[in-house]
Amino acid sequence: MDRDWLWWQHGVIYQIYPRSFYDSNQDGIGDIQGIIDKLDYIQDLGFDAIWISPINSSPMHDFGYDISDYRSIDPLFGTNKEFYDLVKQAHKRKIRIIMDLVVNHSSHQHPWFLESASSRDNPKADWYIWQDPRNGREPNNWLAAFGGKAWQWNAARQQYYLHTHLMEQPDFNWRNPELRKAIFNDIKFWLDKGVDGFRLDVINFLLKDRELRNNPFTFRGPSPRPYDLQAHIYDRNQPENLEIMTELRRLSDQYRDRMLVGEVYAPRPDPQLSASYVGDGRNMLHMAFDFSIIYQKKWHARSFINPVQRWYELLPPQAWPCHVLSNHDQPRSRSRFGGGKENEKRARVAAAFLLTIRGTPFIYYGEELGMYNGKIARSQLQDPVGKKYWPLHPGRDPERTPMLWSNQKNAGFSSQEPWLPLNEGWQSQNVEVQQADPDSLLNFHKRLIHIRKKSKALMQGDWKLEADGSQNYLAYSRTWQKESVLVLLNFDSKTKRIQLTHKRYRALFGTHVIPAQEMRQGPWQLRPYEVLILSIKSD
């Protein structure tokens, strides 16, 4: 009996960092109309949804993650009317739109905060987290993720307010029912406009310890940030936080086919914590990110398969996984995987892994081209993290550089100087060049996505590991009803001799010259960095 599969379980989702995607009004910064202009490109590749990093009104102290009006689009990116048109045009192409929902904190310029900060007895006085000094100092030892203390003095109230990120990003008091109701009404505003879901920013941060107890110190290895030397027990991950996930799910379920995916942040990958935000997949978030692979720098088959196996074990049977190789906060996968002259071959193996394991793949813009991290000089830094910790930490600018569209000026991104410099090698790594090359990484992604869409086994099938990666290659089968597919991935620069257990196979996809259409039981050779997807034929 076929279960009722939903679009976000079948789909492949494309993340766009809007400042860097395409500049339609030629001011050096990407915008909403730029996304509309490139919808045919996104559709042609086979993506089912777009997750757009924040585009709400913001003073841009953290490039949109400090929101001053949840119901408006920042003029830097366009207008509300243009966004509604984006939703309409995307839906015409059967592409869903996912917004970034940043509700742990707002901008310090949000009207709610301005009112809250004005006095201790105004109606919104308790909408943010305010505390009196303790012994003439900050209320506790909490630190901000972007540097310094997590408390900022406010002269008007003669109190400190909490900011777990920048001082311009005061944290909401989610224990206040009126604040919670106001945020839920802002979420409803966008759901009513046809938005198909939300990516929830640092969603495990919402509630803080009622007593605001000090965090204990810990040592997790060298780090440029004192923040990483605290065990963050009391400033996030409170048990009651999961109750809010249930409320958010209840709200989204009032609408048809909507999806919530959570960023459950931890300084080190914590799949058990992420899994707790999904529960059984029916009463909390639809999905949550596990960043075990995105934090992985070692190139080996076990480095990929072990985290995935662990993720599957932690999720209840009814829950649905999702996977990601890169995003706007972490170095691009191609830069992490290294390999010198074999780097592009590794990128193909990684892409095939992402698109054939069980779960929803998220692909970061430019990953389909094999974009590297950009090289950003200190004078060109934009990210507050990079400015704070340079040179110990480069910040997040390197993974946010402009999309490479063509050989024209500024890689076709804009006629004006882009807000960040272009990546080196853009003349040969751009969309225009790769579209014309049938063997390019772009066309590799396109073929693989379309093969995935034709196979229910790859989209929704069960998973069985056939080779565990100990020999630096992987084999796993995906099965849905009578359809079975075998995926073979060689992570090594050496040929692997493998033994196939079934009798007959038909080749569906491969990086190398595919053997005869009908293949018989091995042993046979898996060539260096070979990707091979086979249909298992019934005997």
Classify residue 228 as exposed, middle or buried by CB count within 10 Å of its CB (0-12, 13-18, 19+).
middle
CA distance 83 to 72: 10
Q: Is the peptide bond before 391 cis (omega within 30 degrees of 0)?
A: yes
Supply the DSSP string of 26-93, one letter for each residue: SSSS--HHHHHHTHHHHHHHT--EEEE---EE---TTTTSS-SEEEEE-TTT--HHHHHHHHHHHHHT
Active-site annotation holds for 280: no
Catalytic residue among 23, 66, 74, 201: 201
Catalytic residue among 62, 74, 263, 397: 263
Dihedral sign of CA atoms 335, 340, 345, 346 in order: negative
> Largest alpha-carbon pair distance within the chain?
79
Supply the DSSP string of 109-139, one letter for each residue: TSHHHHHHHH-TTSTTTTSB-EE--BTTB-S
* Residue 249, both tokens: 């799910």
CB contact set of 46 (below 8 Å; sequence gap of 6+): 12, 446, 449, 450, 452, 453
Cβ atoms of 371 and 405 within 8 Å: the answer is no
In single-letter form, the type of residue at position 82 comes to E
In single-letter form, the type of residue at position 266 comes to A
Active-site annotation holds for 201: yes
Cβ atoms of 72 and 57 within 8 Å: the answer is yes
Q: How many residues does the chain have?
A: 539
* Secondary structure class of 107 (helix, strand, coil): coil
Please list the active-site residues. Answer: 201, 263
